[in-house]
Amino acid sequence: MIVVQKYGGSSIADKEKILNVAKRIKKRVENGEKVIVIVSAMGKTTDKLIDLAKSISNKPHPREMDMLLSTGEQVSIALLSIALNELGIKAKSFNAFQLNIQTTHDYTKARIKDIDSDKILRELNENSVIIVAGFQGVTKHGDLTTLGRGGSDTTAVAIAAKLNTSCEIYSDVEGIYTCDPRIVPNAKKLTYITYDDVLELSSLGAKVLHSRAAELAKKYNVKLYCASSFSEEEGTWVVDKLPEWLEQPVVTGATIERNQIKITINNLPKDDVILKKIFKELSEKNINIDMISMFSDADNFHLSFSVLNDLKDIIENSIKQIDSSINISYQGLFDKVSIVGVGMKSSPGVAARFFKVLADNSIMPELVTTSEIKISVLVSKEKSEQLLRKLVKEFSLGS
């Protein structure tokens, strides 16, 4: 039986932790399983490499940045393979080139197009464990790419999807929680969660899973299991539908996404040409804008949206390129607080309860968006954690 496992940076941060992971894998091999392991860079390696590059250039060349960053995972696969071979387990490591992990050529945020899974299976015939560098890929021209923060999750899910198997994702947390236990200590660990909820939570900045990984898992129906590499505690299963016997929660989780700004573009003419251009330009640059709100008066309309503060310059440049006379203003920093749950679809009144919490605590949101399965508000940094705790209480997310 083939199992796909992914270990995050904190799970292999030093030699002791690498040996710990090697021992966990060894047990599975002794259990008769063939194991495909995907690893991230050790500990804070990626951050350190980024700092080094930024000390040389404010805007490091993106192709060269990916050449640089992909070394982190290559160090990890080699060391884990050395550890496994030391334990007497036949293991072999592979980088993106060797498995032809084909991606788009969007440096620093490439998307996987295909993986040579036949080679993985061939190598698995002769070895007990195949170790794959996560996070990295290669374009059809042979340039190295990376998949963006958390991209190793995506590598793991993509391989599991190709091999039609499930995927275990190990980190330093024991599963997926209703919200961040560092902010809300009584956050509940979930035993099951749906792809849709994980997808929303991930794109809302909860660091449970790379959102592209959740997307792929949903698309190819890859069963995920998220747990800690440091304990034997039961983790969280990510599935298509919650088991029938489980009480179906209305709200599954709550998140805070930090470092948001509100961008407002005033006095746009009432034809939609410029608006189309703006959205086209931003989407071509892979910029995720969110919480879009529009308001129009007699002659003009006005557009607001939230983005990560880091993207301010690139957005300003993009819009000024279209028309340098466009009037842009900024407010922030804010936090985005959200609740998520597929159960909201069938439970009316969730929005009303959400806004009552806001009113009871005198919190005035800057922007609001709602979908069938989430509600998000942009609020001041001072109020965001208070709001989160109140929402946890209102929707019974604590234990």
In the list 34, 44, 63, 277, the residue contacting its own copies (rule: CB under 8 A) is: 63
In the list 12, 21, 37, 68, the residue contacting its own copies (rule: CB under 8 A) is: 68
Does the protein bind its own copies through residue 86 (CB under 8 A)? Answer: yes
CB of 41 to its own copies, least distance (A): 10
In the list 5, 10, 46, 93, the residue contacting its own copies (rule: CB under 8 A) is: 93
In the list 56, 182, 297, 313, the residue contacting its own copies (rule: CB under 8 A) is: 56
If we measure between CA atoms, which residue out of 262, 248, 290, 280 comes closest to residue 376? 290
Q: Give the position of tokens 């069963």.
A: 223
Stretch that binds its own copies, among 78-86, 282-290, 335-343, 380-388 (CB under 8 A): 78-86
CB of 287 to its own copies, least distance (A): 22
CB of 320 to its own copies, least distance (A): 23
Does 35 belong to an annotated binding site?
no
Q: Which residues contact 193 (CB under 8 A, 6 or more apart)?
A: 176, 236, 237, 238, 239, 242, 252, 253
Does the protein bind its own copies through residue 78 (CB under 8 A)? Answer: yes
Q: Measuring CA to CA, how many Å separate 389 from each of 58, 84, 338, 356? A: 38, 44, 12, 14
Does the protein bind its own copies through residue 360 (CB under 8 A)? Answer: no
Does the protein bind its own copies through residue 81 (CB under 8 A)? Answer: yes
Does 192 belong to an annotated binding site?
no
- Grouping H, G, I as helix, E, B as strand and the rest as coil, residue 173 is coil
Does 244 belong to an annotated binding site?
no
List, in sequence order, every beta strand (DSSP E) within the chain. 2-7, 34-39, 91-94, 102-103, 112-114, 129-133, 136-138, 144-146, 167-171, 192-194, 224-228, 236-239, 253-269, 290-296, 300-308, 327-340, 367-371, 374-380
What are the respective helix, strand and coil percentages of the chain, to the nearest 5?
40, 30, 35
Does the protein bind its own copies through residue 105 (CB under 8 A)? Answer: no
CB of 75 to its own copies, least distance (A): 5
Supply φ then ψ for residue 127, to 5 degrees.
-130, 160
Residues engaged in binding its own copies (CB under 8 A): 15, 18-19, 49, 52-53, 55-58, 60-61, 63-65, 67-68, 70-71, 74-75, 77-79, 81-83, 85-86, 92-93, 95, 97-98, 142-144
